Amino acid sequence: MALKTLKSRNNKDSKWPKIIIAILSTIGLVDTGSITLKNWGLFNSLSCPGIQNGCETVLNSPWGTLFKNDQINIPLSLAGLITYLSILFISIILSLKIISPKDNLSKFLWWLIFLISCASSTFSFLLMNIMFFKIQEYCLFCILSAILSFSIFIISMIGSNFESREPMIFRGFMVAISVLMGGLIWSSNVDPSKASEVKIPTENVSPRITTSSSPKKVKFAKFLRENNIVMYSAYWCPHCHDQKQLFGKEAVKELKIVECAKDGKDNEYDLCQKKGISGFPSWEINGEIISGTRNLNELAIKTGYQGDSNF
């Protein structure tokens, strides 16, 4: 009886699921696009309603970046942007009725929306757990993206032209398990609390800085030190190394850097505990602790630097 009802629904090609999916994916595109542009320095900051520095802390956490070096910065939000763009493109094709609803291509496109949104929802579930329990800060932009992913997933199940639910359940389950396993491995690898488990073959000191500093960066670093702006770091933290690489080896010598790892050389572990430092790197600016790797222009704005910030 249920199968007959499902087939009966499929014979009627409803417009509303496609339209709603297109609207939701457009909102998601704006949401993740804004985060991505901010990460690339095209936005100075994101105003996160009601949560002071919540978005900054979450987006600049180790889980906010897929890959980063001196030349390339791929924020996690870029993956979300591509996901929403793909869903929007597919939903527009379905809405324009370029192909018949009974055509195999139409069914294939619905499968794509279902599986992409299933993967996105699963990964969003993992990211929400990381945000609430690991980072312990709240980003409304991230929560919005998760809500959009779940909504698109639910609507894809209602509006799709699947002939039976069994393949949908099986394929959705396989995608969810695969994404969850991959996400857990990725999360564990970037988790800074796990880095202490890695054996360091030499003395417990930070890796050597390989980039050079411009005179502007050295001048800015001196300004930070003179104004008692402190960087809290851990020798094993890759994001701390990234932050130092942005300054360059000459400028880093001018910074006031506090080693927080308990087994690090010349550490000030007790001070870090007293300051409540829980993530690395962290900056203390006018008594406020701000976590995450920051580009130098952003630091210049936050610290009120009046010099040339064209780094």
Q: Does residue 203 lie in a domain region?
A: no
Residue 196 lies in a domain: no
What was the pLDDT predicted at 197?
Answer: 46
Distance CA 164, CA 90 (A): 22
Same domain, 251 and 299: yes
The pairing of strands 230-233 and 65-68 is unpaired
Same domain assignment for residues 45 and 145: yes
> Is the Cβ–Cβ distance between 66 and 75 less than 8 Å?
yes
Q: How far apart are CA 247 and CA 115, in angstroms?
A: 43
Number of domains comprising the chain: 2
Same domain, yes or no, for 111 and 155?
Answer: yes
Q: What is the pLDDT of residue 147?
A: 97
Are residues 246 and 104 both part of a single domain? no
Across the chain, where does the E strand assignment appear?
A: 65-68, 73-75, 230-233, 256-259, 282-285, 288-291
Question: Within this chain, do residues 6 and 96 fall inside the same structural domain, yes or no?
Answer: yes
Q: Is residue 29 included in any domain, yes or no?
A: yes
Q: pLDDT digit string (tens) for 29-62?
A: 999 998 888 777 676 555 666 555 567 667 777 7
Tell me the CATH number at 234.
3.40.30.10
- Structure confidence by residue, pLDDT tens digits, 243-287: 998 898 899 999 999 999 888 889 999 999 999 988 889 999 988
Q: With contact defined as beta carbons under 8 Å apart, do 35 and 141 qualify?
A: yes
% of the chain with per-residue pLDDT over 70:
85
Q: What is the pLDDT of residue 192?
A: 64
3-state secondary structure of 85: helix
Does residue 198 form part of some domain?
no
- Asked if residue 284 and residue 176 are part of one domain, the reply reads no
Q: Which residue, of 190, 205, 223, is where some domain finishes?
A: 190
Residues 262 and 299 placed together within one structural domain of the fold: yes
* Residues 52 and 181 both lie in one domain: yes
Q: Which domain holds residue 277?
A: 215-303
Sorting pLDDT into bands at 50, 70 and 90, what band is 2?
very low
Q: In this structure, what are the phi and psi dihedrals at residue 80, rounded to the nearest 5 degrees?
A: -65, -40
Task: Identify the domain boundary among 141, 157, 190.
Answer: 190
Of the candidates 285, 280, 230, which has an alpha carbon nearest to the alpha carbon of residue 255?
230
CATH classification at residue 79: 1.20.1440.130
Rounded to whole angstroms, the Cα distance separating 218 from 304 reads 16
Sort 150 into a burial class: Cβ within 10 Å, 0-12 / 13-18 / 19+: middle
**Same domain, residue pair 179 and 36:** yes
Domain end among 122, 157, 190: 190
For 284-296, how does the pLDDT look when each residue is reduced to its tens digit (9 = 90+)? 998 899 988 888 9
> pLDDT at residue 176 above 90?
yes
DSSP category for residue 71: S
